[in-house]
A = this chain, B = another copy of it.
Amino acid sequence: MPITFSYDQLYAFTNSVFLHMGCSDTDTALATTTLLSADMRGIDSHGVARLTGYVRLWEAGRINPKPNIRIVHETPSTAVVDGDAGLGLVVAPFAMQVAINKAKIAGTGWVSVKNSNHFGIAGQHAMMALEHDMTGIAMTNASALVAPTFSTERMLGTNPIAVAIPAGEEPPFVADFATTTAANGKLEILQRKNEDTPIGWVQDKDGNESTDANELKKGGALLPLGSDREHGSHKGYALGSIVDIFSAVLSGASYGPWAPPFPAYVPMPADMPGQGLGHFFGAMRVDAFRPANEFKQHMDQWIRRFRAATPAAGHERVLIPGDPERKMEAERSRTGIPVTESVADELRTLGEKLSITL
Contacts and interface: CB of A to CB of B under 8 A. Distances in A.
A237 B225 CA distance: 12
A131 to B, nearest CB: 19
A313 B205 CA distance: 11
A110 B107 contact: yes
Contacts of A309: 147-148, 151, 153, 155
B78 A230 contact: no
A73 interface: yes
Nearest to A179: B235
A80 B287 CA distance: 11
Contacts of A317: 150
Contact of A302 (B73, B76, B245): B245
A115 to B, nearest CB: 13
Interface residues of A, number: 85
A34 interface: no
Interface in A261-292: 273-274, 284-286, 288-290
B288 A77 contact: yes
Contacts of A237: 321
A148 B106 contact: no
Contacts of A235: 175, 177-179, 225
Contacts of A77: 76-77, 106-108, 288
29 contacts: A75-B285, A76-B107, A78-B288, A106-B106, A110-B284, A110-B288, A112-B289, A148-B318, A149-B318, A150-B317, A151-B310, A151-B311, A152-B312, A155-B305, A175-B235, A181-B226, A182-B232, A198-B230, A201-B231, A206-B313, A225-B226, A225-B236, A226-B232, A244-B302, A245-B299, A245-B302, A250-B295, A251-B289, A252-B294
- Nearest 10 pairs of A and B residues by beta carbon: A207-B312, A75-B107, A175-B238, A150-B315, A78-B107, A78-B288, A77-B77, A153-B310, A153-B309, A177-B235
